[in-house]
Each structure stands twice: as structure tokens, then as C-alpha cells.
Chains A and B, each alone.
Chain A
Amino acid sequence: MDIQKSAIAGTLESSDAQVIVEPSDHGMELSIESSVMNRYGRQIKAVVLETLDRLQVKNGKVAVVDKGALDCTLMARIECAVFRSCGLSQKNIPWGGAVK
């Protein structure tokens, strides 16, 4: 998927993560902030990259502010932000396909 406009998903509440995506032509620019960066930084980055890879996002700025989200929450927020950026978040989501 191509990030077409900036979009946001998630909150800054505990156990949640906020994800902001913006269009870009120069590959992936990833920034991650987390309240548990020391302990889980690598794991968070891996989940973010895997999720973006599954959605076939090749270009874009992705900023994640993590507040101790579980992997499943992180994936949900990234997917929602990307689908929102394409105007495709409301219906016909590929559950079990690109979203899994």
C-alpha cells in the first residue's frame, strides 16, 4: 500500500501506542519512542517493520509513540493508520490476509 496522506491512529494512554504515518518518496523513515525502549526497543521495531512489510508499505514516514502496548495493539494501530492514509479503513479489510 502507498501512504497517500498523513493519518494517525491510537492514543497516548497506557498500554496503547500512537502511530502517525506521512507520505514520503525516499523509502522508509521510522521513528520509535517508547516508555519501555530499553527493554523492548528491538522487539517493537521488529513488529513495526514486519507489519509494514506485510502491508507492502515501501515509502513513508512512520512515527510510533509506544506506551507499553502489546504486539497485537501495535499491529492494530499501524494497520489502522496505513489504511486510513489510503482512505480504506472503513470496509473490506483483508482480515487474515495482509492484516493478521
Chain B
Amino acid sequence: MIPRPKPKKNRLRRTMMFMNAQKPGLIKDAYIYGADSIILDLEDAVAENQKDAARFSLYHALKSIDYGDTEVIVRMNGLDTPHWQEDIRCIVAGGADGIRIAKCESAQDVKTVEEHVLAAEKEFGIEEGRTLLMAALESPKGVMNAYEIVTASPRMFGCAISGGDFRKSMHVQIQEGGIEMMTARSMMLLAARAAGVQCFDTMWPNIDDKEGFEAEVVQNRKMGFDGKSIVNPRQIRFVHETFAPTPKEIVYAEKLVRSFNEQANAGVGVYTVDGKMVDIPFFEDARRVIALAKACGVYHGDL
């Protein structure tokens, strides 16, 4: 068995790459591509009559493959299926870092999952509280309840919108500019930030439409997402580059941090940097930018 370090609620999750847990060819080397997290899927990628086989395959993959620093999340089947209870036993026994709750619609859904996760941790001698949770919001109801969902358990590290199901329930298709999901994305982001958890956008399904994909990633970054679900390793690099702070942002953040230290010593609260008024919230954001730049491996300064 490969011992995995205790999962961290807060970590870099720019890319979360989906992998069918039933396909040995995919899961055996899933970590080599450099996604921050992988999501081994027991849900939609697995045919109804192979759910049992996928669990055996998942369990042994979790126990025997060294995924290194890549976070290993498993997407379980929804609470409206006959599969979810055994999914949880298998995921927890295998020692996955976290569970993505498919079709999450309420705080009660989270609590139900949490209860079974805790029971499984006890059953299999796993440290209680180790297994993290995240919610996939796939319906208007899920989005409307985003805040109660992400605050329902201390295990929750974030939420993601699932575009395929969500667009169907709204009777819309993917639009250039993303207007069809703008409200939902915004509501989810607000809920996540209010709760202090992370927020992830849906995957881009048209793998060959590179321009559409890149436009969506850029918009995700502008809106404030922490990362994105992806379905192909080819999508990793662009997301990582786009979510990393730009050299310009880093320089500005450094300047803010340094100047703040000087000004604070001199007893000044609000002042100007490059002609723009700045105060304490700017300083906090600058520190976040530096921390993110470090995590992304693009910071070469000495702060």
C-alpha cells in the first residue's frame, strides 16, 4: 500500500482531471500529466452494469498506484442511485483524498454523505475527518442552495458547477461568452467566497474547439474561479498558465507588500502606489497573489 499524506483543504487545484475508474489504461498513469487533482469517476463515465467492477478497480488503484503530489478525488454516484453507499465504503477504504458528491442539491445531501463517510472511516480504521468533500452543483436547486451546501460540513473544500446537466435543466446550450451560465457561475462564486472555500468551473466538452476552450478559461480566471474540471491532458497547460499570476501582477504585488511594510512603520494607513490609492485589503490581496505565484512555481523573488 502507498501511504498518502493527509489531504489539505486548501491547496492548489487549478486543474481537476476526470478519469474513468473502470479503465485500467487511464488510471494507471493518471498522475504523469501534472494535473493538480485527478477525479476518478464512478458516476457517468461508468456503465450501469459495470459499477461493481469499477469499485474493485478503483480500490486497487488507490491502494497500489503512487499518485505522488497529485490529489486523488473520486466522484461517487448520486444519492438517487443504488450505488452511492458502496461507493463511499470503497473510496474511504481505499484512502482517497476526497469525494466529489455528484448532483448535490442541499445541505442534507452533504450531511448524509458525511455520515456515511464517518461510518466508513470507523469501519476501515481511517483517521476520522481525513476524507474531504466537495459538491458538484448540477441543477438550479443545487446552485440556489450553494451556500448552505458548502457550509454544511467542515470537510467541504469547495464546489464546482457541472455544465452538462445544468444547461439541460435550464434548456440552454453553450454560448460564446458564456451568458447561459453567467448567473449560476456568479452565484456559486459568491457562495464559495462567502464560505471561504474554493470554486471550480465545469469542463469544456468540445476537445477540438481550442479557441472556445481558451476563451472560457480566460473568463473563468477573470471571474475569480480557483480552477476548472478538465477531461483531457491537453487542456492542463493552458489552464495552469492562465491561472498563474502574470509577471505584471507579481511585480505590482511585490511593490505593494514592500511599500506597505514601510508605510505601516511610518504610521500611514492609506497611500498611493503607481498613482492608485491602496489600503489594507490591497495588501492582503497582494499577499494572496505572491502565495499563488509561489504555489504555481512562477515566483522568483525573495518575499
Q: Which residues of A contact B (CB under 8 A)?
A: 9-10, 13-16, 69-73, 75-77, 79-80, 83-84, 89-93, 95-96, 99-100
Contacts and interface: CB of A to CB of B under 8 A. Distances in A.
A84 B24 contact: no
A71 B93 CA distance: 19
13 contacts: A13-B25, A15-B25, A15-B28, A72-B60, A73-B24, A73-B60, A76-B24, A76-B57, A76-B60, A79-B56, A93-B56, A93-B59, A95-B59
A16 B53 CA distance: 12
A94 B28 CA distance: 23
Contacts, number: 73
B130 to A, nearest CB: 15
B233 to A, nearest CB: 16
A72 B63 contact: yes
Contacts of B24: 13, 15-16, 69-70, 73, 76
Nearest to A95: B93
Interface stretch (B84-92, B195-203, B275-283): B84-92
Contact of B52 (A69, A71, A90): A90
Chain B interface size, under 10 / 10 to 19 / 20 to 34 / 35 or more: 20 to 34
B91 to A, nearest CB: 10
B124 interface: yes
Residue from A15, A73, A91 with most neighbouring chain B CB atoms (10 Å): A73
Contacts of B181: none
B89 A95 contact: yes
Contact of A77 (B55, B56, B90, B94): B56
B90 A95 contact: yes
Contacts of A77: 53, 56-57
A70 B30 CA distance: 14
Contact of A76 (B59, B86, B93): B59
Interface string B156-195: 0000000000000000000000000000000000000000
B172 to A, nearest CB: 36
A70 B94 contact: no
A70 B124 contact: no
A89 to B, nearest CB: 4
Given A95-B90, A95-B94, A89 B25 contact: no
Contact of A70 (B28, B86, B90, B93): B28
A61 to B, nearest CB: 20
Interface string B26-38: 0010000000000
B124 A80 contact: no
B65 A72 contact: yes
A15 B57 CA distance: 12
A93 B120 CA distance: 12
Given A70-B64, A83-B52, A99-B56, 18 more contacts: A10-B53, A13-B24, A15-B24, A16-B25, A70-B28, A71-B64, A72-B61, A72-B65, A75-B60, A76-B57, A76-B59, A76-B60, A76-B61, A83-B56, A90-B51, A90-B82, A91-B86, A95-B93
